Amino acid sequence: MTSVHVVSTPPPDGNPPPYQPAGGFPNPPQGYPPQGFPQQGFPQQGFPSAPPPGYQPYGQPPAPQRANGMSIASLVLSLVNIIPCFWIFPLPALLGVIFGFVGRSQLGRAENGRGKGLATAGIIVGLVFIALGAIFWIYVSTSSNCYRDGSSFHCGNTTR
């Protein structure tokens, strides 16, 4: 029996030749790159590039939804009227009511918005402070115990 001894010489650049299985690679289907060679624009088999549009990747929580800015502004402006200097003329409450209605109309058109409760709370709190301001002005203007002294009002059993 004779044995054949094959001697391979290393390539001139010193790098080993790439591995090729016996028989070479099978012919890939039309329009696909050969397997084993990463091609730009085509993901490797077994390694998906990204989920299709509109789907969340597996194992990740959904993206948080942000509340509508007009709804937040409505509640904040309405709550500013807790400060006594705004009790006489509740302008922030009026703005809070307006922003609340604008925020609710924006949320009515949005598919996945948050903040409808904030807008409703801003409208209710704003209307309460506007009503309290109106009650204050009605009391001051109709009471015989209140009088205006320059830029201030005095109410009670004091003499003029």
Instruction: Tell me 154's DSSP state.
Output: E
Tell me the pLDDT of the chain (160 aa) as tens digits: 566 665 566 666 767 666 655 555 556 566 665 555 555 555 555 555 666 666 666 666 766 677 788 999 999 999 999 998 888 889 999 999 999 999 998 888 766 678 889 999 999 999 999 999 999 888 878 877 777 777 777 777 655 5
**122: Cβ–Cβ under 8 A, 6 or more apart, which residues?**
71, 73, 74, 75, 76, 77, 78, 96, 97, 99, 100, 103
In this predicted structure, what is the pLDDT of residue 58? 67
Q: Is the pTM of this model over 0.85?
A: no
Q: What angle do CA 62, 119, 107 make, to 5 degrees?
A: 55
Q: Which pLDDT score is estimated for 56?
A: 62
The confidence score (pLDDT) of residue 127 equals 96
Question: Exposed (0-12), middle (13-18) or buried (19+): which is 9, by Cβ within 10 Å?
Answer: exposed
- pLDDT of the residue at 132: 92
Q: Domain locations in the chain?
A: 69-155
